[in-house]
Every structure is written in structure tokens, then in C-alpha cells.
Structure 1
Amino acid sequence: MTTRIEHDLLGDRKLPQDTWYGIQTQRAVENFKITGVPISHFPELVRALAMVKAAAAKANRDVGVIEPKKAEAIIQACDDIAGGALHDQFVVDLIQGGAGTSTNMNANEVIANLALTQMGHQKGEYQYLHPNDDVNRSQSTNDAYPTATCVSLQFAAEPLVVAIENLKTALHNKGAEFADVVKMGRTQLQDAVPMTLGQEFEGFAVNLGEDIDRIHEACRLLCEVNLGGTAIGTGINTHPQYQALAVRYLAEISGKPIVPASNLVEASSDMGAFVFLSGMLKRFAIKLGKICNDLRLLSSGPRTGLGEISLPPMQPGSSIMPGKVNPVIPEAVNQTVYQVIASDLAVTLAAEAGQLQLNAMEPMIVYNLLNSMRMLCEACSMLQTRCIEGIQVNREQCARHVDNSIGIITALVPHIGYANASRIASAALHSGSTVRELVLAEGLLSEGQLDRLLSPQAMLAPHLEP
């Protein structure tokens, strides 16, 4: 295997000639073996890093601090990477020391070597185009990395929002399909009053749909970046016109409404937008988990539980109990929810750990946010296609629960009084008789009155007349 020698602050190292990254990336690979998840696991982050570097090169070219030939080579290399080239060369573990420096240098070195080959040189011939002096010109990890993070999270939000929309539509469709199925509502796992299964599923759809706007709101906060602030937000080593140009170019390249932060010193250490996004992901995850809890309860049985709905069977449920089928899809979603909640705590602690002009824990924030968004996206798609769309209603079971419920007595309270209703409910509970049978036996209401008062039209919506 042919090798090349590269040099940095700590000395010389041999690298395989076929690697596109350089010596600082190699050291980071050796140092950080935490998650086993490299940068390339999240293509949106690789794309965003390339876009930031391209925007910087264009701005540096325009203000005259980098030769046009070098700038064009950098821009072309960035365009290739943003289009999918060499993603496997982004090899550093997502969690790393150095506040993201290893990720930034991984990008700088791959871009530099790709640009060098396009200029007719060999990898590692940095005298012609250097990872730090040229690719990283007018930048620091402390502005390039968080800016790329903000862009990558907006990219990651796009498929997540689509997945939520699709899941919402599937729930809404089930709401329409089950609109005529009367069932018992329950509070605190006890019989409450009747509703339709359609109302229950439509409630699920509305509940999740609300968070689409919240995710968009979080993405708007991510549009404010500190690019141009360099090390701590003062803009050291940049041309006075660089920041405005770099941010404008990044907005054009990314297609996102990127704007410069109003105070770069504040923006260089502030993790508020990440905390807000993490909180929104947790909020959505909690809602999603509650729905899956409900699906598991409603489908429990099939003979000795609620059994009001049947989830589509996905796989055998036991190695010892023949015929058992478990609600594996909602269970997997619930576990995703727990992980997202845990990730939110990690993001919260990491954001609080910032010191003075920088937060060195940002790599963990990036890892947890991107991972949560990907997991939620996959969980929503799985729940939609492998569970919700195949749910069937057990109409007879729903009807039996309503007929046998004591909760329907609530509909009679305005007509027989609370005391009578309480007495009838207690008698029904202890005797096994139905509410209807006991009310008729005592002559409190006629059969016609009961038919009207216990009809779906009367019990499922406001109807009381003076």
C-alpha cells in the first residue's frame, strides 16, 4: 500500500495514499472511539459542512483574500461533496473533544485534497492549497461548525416533517373510517362516557399535527448563524465585508433563509436554539408515545383485554406461547420515545455546560439532535405503514362495552338527578344488571326516553335542551 507523509504540530504521520482526509483527521480517529458513529452517518451534516466551506470560499474570493484559482477549486470540491461525493471519508466520531475541531478539520482536509487533485496535484501537496490557510480561511471551528450544524438540522427536519404529515394523514383517514363506531371513552382507565372510535383517532391526528408548526418554528431559530465570528465572535482574521458575503452565499447555496446573528459574541456561545429544538422533539415524542400506549391498550387481548381494535400482525410474538402476536410496532416506537427524552436531557446538560465564550460540548448536542430526528422520522414512517394503516375495528366488542358500561348513566343525570344516577350506577355494578334495565325497572324513564337519551346523537355531542 502506497503512503504519504503529512506533518502537523505534533510531528509526522504516514497515511494511506488512497485516503482523502489528512493527519489531523487520522489523529482524531485514533483518539475518539466513543459511539462508533462517524460524521458520514448523517449525510445532511456532511452536505452542510461542504456548503459552509463553499460559501466561505466565495466570500474570500470576492474580498480578494484568496486566489480565484484556489477558490474555484475549493468551491468545485465542495459542490461535489454536497452532491454526495466522498462522504465515506468523513470518518471522525460524532462525539469528540475540541468543540468540533476534528469535524471541521476532517472537512477541511477532504476538501483540500479533492481540490488539489482537480488542480492537477497529489493529495497532501498542501503547498499548493492548504486545509487551514485556504479551505479554512476567515473561519474558525467555532463559527463554521455551529453554522453547519444549524443548516444540517434544517435538512434533517425536512423528512421528519414529511413523516409526521403522512402519519397525521393516516390517523385522520382512520378517524373517518371509524366515524360511526360508538365505543366507551375512559378516564383513569375507568369507564367514562361514550364517544366514537373516529373521534379518538381524529384526536390523535390533531395532537401530532400541532407539532409540525413547532418544528418549523425551531428551524426558524436555526437560521440565525454566527458565521464570520471566527474564534469568539469578534471576527478576527476576516475582511470587513466577509461576514455579509459568506452568510448571503450560504443562504443561496443551502436554500435556507440564513441570516447573520445580531451579536456574534453572544451567538458563539449560545445554545438556545438547539435546546428549543430538542424540547420540541421531546414534546412530539411524548405525544407519539402516549398514542402508542393507547394503541397497545385498545388492542389488548385479544380475548381478555379491551380488544376494541386489532393491530396488523407483524411477527410471531413468543418463543413459547403458540399463536401469540405482540404489538411490536408501538413497542418499538415507545422505545424510540424514551431515547429521545434521554437525548433531550443530554442536550440540556451539554448546553448548560458552556463556559465563557464557547460551549465545548456542542458535538454531543449535534449527535443527539440528529440522532433523535432520524429516529423519530423512522418511527413515524414505521408506525404509519406497519401499524396505523392496517388497524381493524372490532365493532361487536365496542358495542358490548357500551351496552355493559355503567358510564352511560352520565347521560341520564340531567333527567333523573345525580342521586338517582349514583344509586342506579352502584346497583348495576353490584347486581350485574345494565343501567337501562334498572332505570326501566324503577320507572324513572320510559323506553322511548332511554332510546333517545342513550342514542349516539345524544351522547356524542352537545344536545341538552331546557
Structure 2
Amino acid sequence: MENAVSTRLEHDSLGSKTVDADAYYGIQTLRARDNFQLTGVPLHHYPRLVVALAMVKKACCQANGELGGLGPDLVNAISAACDDIIDGQLHDQFLVDMVQGGAGTSTNMNANEVIANRALELLGHERGSYDKLHPNNHVNLSQSTNDVYPTAIKLAIQLSCPELISALERISETLAVKAEEFSGVLKLGRTQLQDAVPMTLGQEFNACRTTLQEDISRLHEVAVLGREINLGATAIGTGINTDSRYADLAVAKLSAIAGMPFTLAPDLIEATSDTGAFVMLSGVLRRIAIKLSKFCNDLRLLSSGPRGGFGEINLPPVQPGSSIMPGKVNPVIPEAVNQVAYRVMGNDLSVSMAAEAGQLQLNAMEPLIVYSLLDSIQLMTRAIDMLEERCIRGISANTDHCLAVMNNSMALITALSPHLGYELTSKLAKQALETEASVRDLILENGIMSAEALDDILKPEKMLQPITATQP
């Protein structure tokens, strides 16, 4: 008797299975949970995907209700169940693994069953009473996984990207502050890790700010592609089992529910198998990862030492760096961002291969695509915030050391070359390297130029920007 109370019996085309009586999911979710124990990352790990699924289901329900496919009581109950999920309830019931076979069918059925059982509860029926309200016949009416799932993926991405954009904007603002703070710090610029020409530390930080700001624009651009959806396409894009008015109406309902404009793809057969928008987004995420990783490599180089390395900047110490070397502090924040970047690059490869693996009218690898994209967005957002808050804000400059390194380098030779000629400056550079004397001292000792003339040429404002043309 106790066992009968704690479970309910459900059936599908493969047979029957017992489901926990208090579960909102049903038999197909249970099968998928047992089949796909892969990543250990369930759907509810990405709340915006769960919310997106509920929004899509609500839009479809309302469209069906308006066209007469569902009665008012069912429309109200299904919509209310969707609202509960949109508000953050029942997310723990979305427990299918993110990576799954079946092109996302398990995800779609997980949503159908949770919504159906919550709607039944709202109508005063027991969970599992599918003769009153059915996951497929009612919640999934006029739908297929093949249009619901990619639509929900695109919506989840639309809901997730604003946080990444905000993180990029915050780090850009902090880099701008640092660029201004370091605008007077003269230092040695380097190419191929060799001495190049003078610059300021502020210019170095501002360059990173500029390149990240470019990617804010790229994210906004790819977002537009993500708002073209195939909702109403059903199985392969022909719209089988739907009213001819349904697709346009469902898309309009989703736009209203989500608060953003979605458009129906002009060719639904193409849109059902195409994953180009996902590939483009993944490429932008990879681009951001590469840029951030390069900047973190620079931070690690510039802060290396403190005595035996570049030592031009100091990263804020956030934890002891060694279990054996007292006083050692490592650049752990940039190192962690590097690793996130590598993961994002790997995710991009997964997206590319999964997109290429599509066959005929459907890409069955979309679960890996959405898992990779949402993982990249979430990791990048957290990594950027960590880098901004725990590293960049607290960076300080070793101003005197930067200036000493610059003055003792070969960098001044380039500034002098237009005045002394390439041949002479090359000889001076070679002599300076052989004798470890400074270029400035050699010029003055050999009477090549007066101190006043030399100081005028080596003024920072003359070395850090193009020469201002004078009128003849």
C-alpha cells in the first residue's frame, strides 16, 4: 500500500514504468534520464533554457487556443503551468542530461510532461491523469521537437547573451579607467618579445579595451540572426498537422511573451536543418576567448618576477602561490581565464563538428550545440567578471622600473633613426649591446648630438605618436 501511494504507473509505446508520485515529469523523461547519464549536467543547470522552453510552449498553447485547437480551460491551465516555470518554479523537474540522442526529443518531452502534470494539478486532477490533459495531444499540439527545440535554444541564447554583453561592458569600462591611470607611464613596447619602440602602459590597456568593445558589437549582430526561428515548421518544415495560420500566430505570441521580436524563417525546411546562426555565435565566442586569453598572457608576462621577470605591473595578490616557496604569489586569475578560453575554443570545435554532422532535413546533434553554446556563454561571463573584479581593478604600475627599462633599451634607436640615419643608428645599437652602455650615453660621449637636441627628439609626445606635419 505504501508503494502504491509513492508511485504512479505510466505507459508509452514501449511499455509501462513506475514514476514517483510527486514527480511532475513522466515516463519519457524517466527513460531519458536512465539512458543518458553522460555529462551529469541536467537541463535545469541552465535556467534560461528551461524558461525558454516554457515560453515557447505557452506561445504554442495560446496560438492553438485562438485557432480553436484547445479549449479555454486547457489553455488557461497550460499557460498557468508555463508561467510557474517562467517564474522559476519546478526547474528541478527538468532533469534530462544536456547531451542526449534524439535531436532534443527528450528535452521536449521533459517540458511537455512537467507542464502537463502541473496543468492537471491546477485543474484539480492527479498527476498522470493524461486522459484529461495529455503531454503530446495537448501540450505538444501543432508542434514537433524539431521546431520547438531549436526555437527554445535560440530564445535561451537571447536571454543569456545580455549578461555576457554586460560583463564585457564592465571590463571595458575598468580598462578605460586603467588606461587613463597609466597614461603617463612610459614603457618599452615589444614585438616578438624583443625590444621595439616606446609606448605608455595606458596605450597597452586601452588597446585591450578597444578590441573587446568590438566584440560587443559582434554579439549584437549575431543576436539578430538568432531571432529568425522555425516555430510552426513541425517535423521537417512542411508544417504538417498545423493550421495554415498557426506559424505566424505562434511566432507573434512568442515575441509578446519573450518581449523581443522574433520572425518566421522564409524557408522552414531550410531553417529546420540549418544551424548557421549557432556556428556564427560560437565563432564570436571563440573570438572573444582568444582575445581575452592573449590579454591574460600579456598580464602574466608583464607581472612576471617580481625580481626575475618583466616586473612592469603588479597584479593584486589573491592567494598564496606555493606550498613550498614562502611568499610566492601566482597570477591565478589570468591563468583561470586562460583555461576558460581553451574550453570555449573546444566548445567552438564541438559546435562546428555537430553543425557539419547534420543530415538531410534535421541536425540530430543540436543537444551538443546548445550545451556547448550555453556552457561557453556562462563560463565567459563568469570569467570576465572574475578578471575585472579580482585582477584588473587592482593592477598597479612599477613606473620607475618601466622608465628605466625603456631608457636602457634599444627602443630609443628607432626614434633617432630619422635624424641620424639607419647606418649610424645600427652601429650605435650594436655598440650598446656589446658594451652594455646606454644609447644616450654613447651619443653624448661621441659628440653625435647635443643633450638638448637629444632630449627634444626623445620627448614622449614625439615618440608616442606620428610626427605633426609643419607648413613649408
Q: TM-score, normalised by structure 1?
A: 0.99
TM-superposed CA distance for 1:463, in Å, is 2.1
Distance 2:449 2:78 in 1: 85
Query: Is residue 24 of structure 1 aligned with residue 23 of structure 2?
Result: no
TM-superposed CA distance for 1:66, in Å, is 1.1
Distance 2:63 2:9 in 1: 32
Instruction: Give the match for residue 78 of structure 1.
Output: 82
Instruction: Give the match for residue 113 of structure 2.
Output: 109
SS in 2 for 1:80: helix
Matches within 5 A, 1:51-450: 51-450=55-454
With 453-462 and 306-315 compared, the bigger mean Cα shift is at 453-462
Instruction: Give the match for residue 43 of structure 1.
Output: 47
SS in 2 for 1:256: coil
TM-superposed CA distance for 1:465, in Å, is 5.2
SS in 2 for 1:14: strand
Q: Structure 1 counterpart of 2:229, which letter?
A: V
SS in 2 for 1:383: helix
Distance 2:372 2:283 in 1: 12
TM-superposed CA distance for 1:294, in Å, is 0.4
TM-superposed CA distance for 1:318, in Å, is 0.7
- Number of residue pairs matched? 466
Structure 2 unaligned segments of length 5 or more: list them.
Answer: none
Structure 1 unaligned segments of length 5 or more: list them.
Answer: none
Q: Structure 1 counterpart of 2:296, which letter?
A: C
TM-superposed CA distance for 1:101, in Å, is 0.1
SS in 2 for 1:366: helix
Partner deviation per Cα, 1:286-326 (whole Å, 9 max, x = no partner): 00100000000000000010000000001111111111000
SS in 2 for 1:385: helix
Partner deviation per Cα, 1:69-101 (whole Å, 9 max, x = no partner): 101110111011011010000000000000000
Distance 1:64 1:359 in 2: 32
Distance 2:260 2:434 in 1: 65
Distance 1:356 1:256 in 2: 31
Q: Structure 1 counterpart of 2:425, which letter?
A: A
Distance 1:67 1:24 in 2: 26
Partner deviation per Cα, 1:171-197 (whole Å, 9 max, x = no partner): 111001101100000000001000010
Distance 2:459 2:311 in 1: 23
SS in 2 for 1:179: coil
Distance 2:457 2:383 in 1: 42
RMSD of aligned residue pairs (Cα, Å): 0.8
Distance 2:469 2:229 in 1: 59
Distance 1:383 1:65 in 2: 52
TM-superposed CA distance for 1:170, in Å, is 0.7
Instruction: Give the match for residue 12 of structure 2.
Output: 8
Q: Structure 1 counterpart of 2:297, which letter?
A: N
SS in 1 for 2:261: coil
Q: Structure 2 counterpart of 1:269, which letter?
A: S
TM-superposed CA distance for 1:209, in Å, is 0.7
Q: Structure 1 counterpart of 2:42, which letter?
A: P
Q: TM-score, normalised by structure 2?
A: 0.98
TM-superposed CA distance for 1:464, in Å, is 5.6
Distance 1:277 1:262 in 2: 21
Instruction: Give the match for residue 453 of structure 1.
Output: 457
SS in 2 for 1:324: coil
SS in 2 for 1:194: strand
SS in 1 for 2:197: strand
Partner deviation per Cα, 1:100-119 (whole Å, 9 max, x = no partner): 00000000000000000000
Q: Structure 2 counterpart of 1:18, which letter?
A: D
Partner deviation per Cα, 1:272-295 (whole Å, 9 max, x = no partner): 000000000001110010000000
Partner deviation per Cα, 1:30-69 (whole Å, 9 max, x = no partner): 0001100000000000000000000000000000011111
Query: Is residue 462 of structure 1 aligned with residue 453 of structure 2?
Result: no
Distance 1:174 1:267 in 2: 45
SS in 1 for 2:174: helix
